[in-house]
Amino acid sequence: MSAANKIGIVVVSGSLERLQMAAMMASVAAVSDNEVTVFLSMNALQYFRRNAPRPAAEGEFGELLVQKKAPEFRQLFQSAVELGDAKIHPCSMAVDILGIDTSDLEPWLGEPLGLTRFLSQTQGAQVWSF
φ, ψ of residue 106 in degrees (nearest 5): -55, 140
Q: The pTM is what? A: 0.94
Render pLDDT for 17-58 as a digit per residue (tens, 0 to 9).
999 999 999 999 999 999 999 999 999 999 999 999 999 999
- Identify which of 17, 2, 6 has the alpha carbon closest to the alpha carbon of residue 128: 6
Task: Read off the CATH number of the domain in which 87 is found.
Answer: 3.40.1260.10
From first CA to last CA, the distance across the chain in angstroms is 24
Amino acid at 123: Q
Look at the chain and report how many structural domains it folds into. Answer: 1
Mean pLDDT for the stretch of residues 77-84:
97
Render pLDDT for 86-126 as a digit per residue (tens, 0 to 9).
999 999 999 999 999 999 999 999 999 999 999 999 999 99
4 falls in which pLDDT band (50, 70, 90)? low
Look up the domain containing 45 and give its range.
Answer: 3-129
